[in-house]
């Protein structure tokens, strides 16, 4: 198969599946994994996709964030594992902040067997799910939905009213998602949502960042917080080797879930 034909085949697979793996595409196109890695790198330079650990996802750029319903299906198994791991941090009596994101949504879907938990969130999707789980007695507690301006595409609440309300709370734990993770810290696409997440971090005793590995070495537009503020980072890939030598990451407890071997 010629190079341009491979490119077209790779783009078609991404359009159908949102995420592709090097090994699977190599078998399907009857070429070596190394050839596919080179193809993916070339397509990334053309902004046709984004390289991730072991494969690629669709390219969304750094300005336009994909809709919530679109993001839910991307990297879903990894997000589910991350959410389940993060939910184990929640203890009886905790006052928890939960920000907007499809990974923090998976935390909401995994909370169980705890009592007297209060969850404050600006995620409409998470609030609906949490109330359903309380109703079904999967855990005991209450949900506080922050006021503000709604974003129907992201199923979120944000803005100056949201931020003023957040300033009134003291949290035991804040669970934060993000659009990118790099050596400067964590960042996101939307300035209002990034600001709300930043306040959650500042008002919390313990900060847990939950993000799949597609966010590593990526930069979104708006800074949320530095690595020095983070206690735990839960993801599906081991810390990059060059990062482990950098003192900026020394204070972060990096938790890897699932199979983190190279594909």
Query: pLDDT tens across 28-54, in order?
Result: 999 999 999 999 999 988 888 888 878
Task: Tell me the CA distances in angstroms from 48 to 8, 14, 160, 233, one per residue in order.
Answer: 10, 10, 36, 29
245: pLDDT confidence band, cut at 50, 70 and 90? confident
What's the pLDDT score for residue 140?
A: 98
Q: Averaged over 7-30, what is the pLDDT?
A: 88
pLDDT above 70 coverage of the chain, percent: 92
What's the pLDDT score for residue 74?
A: 67
What's the pLDDT score for residue 62?
A: 46
The strands making up 117-121's β-sheet, listed across from edge to edge, are: 141-145, 117-121, 95-98, 171-176, 204-210, 232-235, 253-256
What's the pLDDT score for residue 54?
A: 84
Check pLDDT > 80 for residue 171: yes
Check pLDDT > 60 for residue 262: no
pLDDT in tens, 206-222: 999 999 988 888 877 79
Q: What is the mean pLDDT of the chain?
A: 89
What's the pLDDT score for residue 247?
A: 84
Task: Tell me the CA distances in angstroms from 88 to 94, 103, 114, 203, 261, one per residue in order.
Answer: 12, 14, 10, 21, 24
Q: Are 208 and 176 in contact (CB under 8 A)?
A: yes
Q: pTM of the full predicted structure? A: 0.76
63: pLDDT confidence band, cut at 50, 70 and 90? very low
110: pLDDT confidence band, cut at 50, 70 and 90? very high
């Amino acid at each position: 198969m010629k190079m341009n034909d491979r490119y077209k085949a790779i783009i078609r697979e991404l359009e159908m599946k949102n995420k592709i793996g090097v090994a699977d595409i190599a078998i399907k196109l009857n070429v070596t994994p190394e050839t596919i890695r080179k193809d993916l790198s070339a397509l990334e330079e053309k902004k046709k996709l984004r390289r991730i650990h072991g494969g690629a996802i669709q390219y969304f750029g750094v300005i336009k964030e994909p809709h919530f319903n679109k993001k839910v299906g991307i990297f879903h198994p990894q997000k589910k594992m991350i959410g389940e791991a993060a939910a184990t941090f929640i203890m009886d009596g905790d006052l928890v902040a939960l920000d907007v994101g499809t990974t923090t949504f998976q935390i909401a879907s995994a909370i169980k067997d705890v009592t007297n938990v209060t969850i404050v969130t600006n995620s409409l999707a998470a609030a609906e799910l949490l109330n359903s789980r309380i109703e079904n007695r999967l855990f005991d507690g209450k949900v506080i939905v922050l006021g503000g301006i709604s974003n129907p595409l992201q199923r979120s609440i944000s803005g100056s009213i949201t931020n003023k309300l957040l300033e009134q709370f003291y949290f035991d734990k804040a669970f934060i998602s993000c659009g990118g993770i790099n050596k400067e810290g964590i960042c996101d696409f939307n300035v209002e949502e990034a600001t709300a997440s930043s306040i959650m971090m500042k008002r919390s005793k313990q900060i847990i960042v939950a993000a799949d590995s597609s966010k590593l070495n990526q930069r979104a537009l708006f800074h949320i917080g530095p690595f020095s503020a983070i206690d735990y980072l839960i993801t599906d890939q081991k810390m990059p080797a060059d990062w482990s030598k950098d003192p900026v990451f020394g204070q972060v407890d990096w938790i890897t879930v699932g199979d983190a071997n190279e594909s």
